[in-house]
Amino acid sequence: MNDAVRMSVTGSVLTITLDRPKANAINVSTSRALYAAFARLQDDAALRVGIVTGVGRFFSAGWDLTGAVEGEAVDADHGPGGFAGLTEFFALSKPVIAAVNGLAMGGGFELALAADLMVASPQAEFALPEVKLGMIPDSGGVLRLPRRLPRALATEMLFTGRRMGAEEALRWGLVNQLVPADQLMSCAMEMAAQIAMNAPLAVAAVKEVLRATSHQDIETAYRTLRSASLPTYRAMLTSEDAKEGPRAFSEKRPPLWRGA
């Protein structure tokens, strides 16, 4: 494992910490180490939710420009999960929470955008400044940001590279919760615990349906939902967990999820 990426497990939650001074910038080897961590989340049945965070003033400054100056290509192969190990990890069926502790710039913001949920400290700031460097944020920023913010605002950020503070991000719904820095990880862990209490197959089905239908109109989305194109959703409908939930409710006891 790359020394810049640490993993710790608390119950069913995997915390992935980026610690690469001074700015948690991401090069190819760090991307691949992040992917290995997210792959562990996917492959370990005992893990239900992931949290990704950073150490210090930065969540992540994004692509390591030092590596670029030294010859790492703009289109370098960052591994099967794409840049930062998550931006193109489309098969990941478990939720990821980005706990944004500080500056999320460029590819760091793209990593946060690739997560399912986002909590932030007041020190968090978000920007996609790639146009200032002769590039575009093509590790998901140019694709995801207009789907998370009003298009005019997203376009402004993409064209100008301007920063968005934590309070503004909360106001626009980009961030789920804004909490003091010393409460950031406990907030993320509490959110993860709430998710982990629920049926794992149902949570995976929600993620699958959201991914497949988020930009379809309602009628088209219903057709997708009723089709055979969503295997996790179809498996959930006839699962033991779908029987256990109502049974546990009627018996006034906690459900015993099997994940099947």
Catalytic choice (72, 88, 110, 219)? 110
Distance CA 153, CA 159 (A): 10
User: Which of 54, 9, 95, 20 minimizes the C-alpha distance to 181?
Assistant: 54
Q: What is the mean pLDDT of the chain?
A: 95
Residue 219 is a catalytic residue: no
pLDDT above 80: residue 19? yes
| Element containing residue 194 per DSSP (H, E) | helix 184-196
Min mean pLDDT across 37-51, 59-73, 85-99, 167-181 is at: 59-73
Task: Check if 156 is active-site.
Answer: no
Residues 18, 4: contact at Cβ < 8 Å? yes
The C-alpha atoms of residue 160 and residue 131 are separated, in whole angstroms, by 7
Average pLDDT rounded to a whole number, residues 199-209: 97
pLDDT of 70: 61
Quick one: pLDDT at residue 30? 95
Q: Catalytic one among 130, 219, 244, 251?
A: 130
Predicted pLDDT at 137:
96
What average pLDDT score do residues 222-237 get? 96
pLDDT tens-digit series, residues 164-174: 999 999 999 99
Which whole number is the average pLDDT over 225-251?
96
Are 241 and 259 within 8 A, CB to CB? yes
Q: Is the dihedral of CA 20, 164, 162, 115 positive or negative?
A: positive
pLDDT (average), residues 210-217: 95
Q: State the pLDDT at residue 77.
A: 85
Instruction: Output 1 or 44, whichever has higher pLDDT.
Output: 44
Helix (H) or strand (E) holding 14: strand 13-18
Residue 145's pLDDT band (boundaries 50, 70, 90)? Answer: very high
CA neighbours closer than 13 Å in the CB half-sphere of residue 133:
17
Measured between alpha carbons, how far is 51 from 14 in angstroms, rounded to an integer? Answer: 6
Q: What pLDDT is stored for residue 171 in this prediction?
A: 98
> Tell me: the pLDDT tens digits for 28-65?
999 999 999 999 999 999 999 999 999 999 999 999 98
Res 260: pLDDT: 84
- Rounded average pLDDT over 102-129: 98
Q: Are strands 164-165 and 125-127 parallel, antiparallel or unpaired?
A: antiparallel
Q: Whole-prediction pTM value? A: 0.95
